[in-house]
A and B are shown apart, each in its own frame.
Chain A
Amino acid sequence: MNRLTRGVNDFFFTPVPLGRVAAMRFLAGLFVWIEWWAYKPFIIQHRFLPEDLYQPLLIGRILPIPAPNYWIVTGTLVVVLASALPVMFGYRPRLFGWILFIAYFEWMLIYNSYGKVDHASFGFMVLLLVLCMMPEARWGDREHLSARVGWGFNLVQIAVVCTYFLSAWAKFRYGGLEWANSGVFTWAIIRRGTVFSDWLLEFPALLQFAQWGMIAFELLTPIVLIVYRWKKVQYAIVAFLYCFHIVVFAALTISFLPHLFAMACFLPLERIDPRALARKAKARLTGRKGDPPRDASESEPEPAGTA
């Protein structure tokens, strides 16, 4: 029993250094700044759509959320971007974090309320929520550990894994058992193929094999949570997941970018300290004069490079 309690505690509350919180806040804000013009530019274009095309989701019908119009969409984006800045740089990150979370949620409702719901953002929304509950933090802080932070990132990680695992379930539910033998990848490439994937249309058997591989891989993703004690194994799996998304992006230009940002909380980002790196770079530029002796613990972040 005692071992069980300890195991449960370890799983949910392994303390995580605060430096990772600062890094994740920066990444979260960075994504928000990239998304609206580079990743999902059509969301802001929704401001031109007449109300008749708006199909509110359940939550939009329960809460008194007005149908988006030009000013609601534009205003939501302004609030999202404005609140993201202080979050990124750690100025009153909890207050602005809540503003960001609420505004971003409305932004997601604008995104998903016109007849199609996308599913890449769940982990990212969880990330924005848990960042609101975490203490103030500075980059590169590896001394102060927090069980609350560990819990929060564990929640994001579970959301990330569910995105894979439950999407395998959805394939059984909507596609049936024959999904893996169907022509779904052919169909996807016909619709959104690229120079990297169009040639695959000639090899349908290979595509079907890939479909089996996809199911197997999605069902196996919970392993990444189970191996939390063996960090190297975990980082390797996360690196594999990033590679998977690079391949999918090359083939279909679907990137699941918010999901990728959320997944970064698996990585020891606390090892990155921009100030120390800047000092080092400066020292190198000025001919290594006055290069402050740094201890080994502040060496270059290696696994973070996989992101």
Chain B
Amino acid sequence: MRIAATLAMTAALVATSLWGTDDLFPFAPFKMYSHAHDPDGWANSTVLILVNAEGESFPIGDNDTGFRRAELEGQMARFREDPALLALVAEAYEEAHPDEPEIVGAEILIRRYELVDGERTGAETEELVASWTEGEAP
């Protein structure tokens, strides 16, 4: 019986690794850093920038809103389609920082660094994925 339990857990892990997706949590493919990245391509890094009522703009990190960069990237398609969703992130920031000036704008940038043979060439590009300013309803 207990052996069966062990085998069942192992089988579930193996099965989700073979065919499963993250949706099957807690059983899920262990895919940390599993995607190949072309050594002659572009490495990207996502930045989330907020603009406050005083006109200051600043990048925010994972702990500022609780909405992590990886989570932003996971939902990127939604943000591309509907940039007004950034209002939700602004809202979360205001909730978490009640003493700071109001957030009136936000944007998502993807910086890309060119690689040749795995080395950075110094060439960079920036793509504005989504931007939102106060006044647009979410």
Contact = CB atoms under 8 A, between A and B. Distances in A.
B70 to A, nearest CB: 4
Interface in B28-70: 28-41, 43, 45, 62-68, 70
Contacts of A191: 43, 45
A47 B115 CA distance: 39
B118 A119 contact: no
A48 B43 contact: no
A170 B31 contact: yes
Interface string A161-185: 0110011011101111011011110
A55 interface: yes
B47 to A, nearest CB: 11
Contact of B33 (A44, A181, A184): A184
B74 A184 contact: no
Given A57-B23, A115-B74, A119-B30, A204 B117 contact: yes
A142 interface: no
A7 interface: no
Contacts of A205: 118
A45 B113 CA distance: 31
Nearest to A70: B95
B128 interface: no
A143 interface: no
Nearest to A166: B17
B29 A173 contact: yes
Contacts of B96: 45, 48
Interface residues of A, number: 68
Contacts of B18: 169, 173
A155 interface: yes
Contacts of A65: none
Contacts, number: 195
Contact of B37 (A12, A109, A182, A201): A182
Given A155-B9, A182-B37, A204-B119, A117 B65 contact: no
B73 A45 contact: no
Contacts of B36: 174-176, 178-179, 182, 184
**Range, interface on chain B:** 35 or more
A59 B21 CA distance: 13
Contacts of B95: 48
Interface in A207-235: 207-208
A41 interface: yes
Given A167-B32, A184-B33, A151 B75 contact: no
Nearest to A179: B36
A2 B79 CA distance: 62
A58 interface: yes
B6 A170 contact: no
Contact of B91 (A50, A115, A162, A178): A50
A202 B32 contact: no
A163 B22 contact: no
Contacts of B23: 57-58
Top 6 closest pairs, chain A to chain B, by CB: A45-B66, A204-B118, A115-B74, A175-B36, A182-B36, A183-B39
Interface of B: 2-3, 5-6, 9-10, 13-14, 17-18, 22-26, 28-41, 43, 45, 62-68, 70-75, 85, 88-89, 91-93, 95-96, 113, 115, 117-120, 138
Given A49-B92, A122-B13, A169-B17, 10 more contacts: A42-B68, A57-B22, A112-B25, A116-B70, A122-B26, A155-B6, A174-B36, A175-B34, A201-B120, A204-B118
Interface of A: 8, 12-13, 41-50, 52-53, 55, 57-59, 105, 108-109, 112, 114-122, 125-126, 148, 151, 154-155, 158-159, 162-163, 166-167, 169-171, 173-176, 178-179, 181-184, 186-188, 190-191, 201-202, 204-205, 207-208
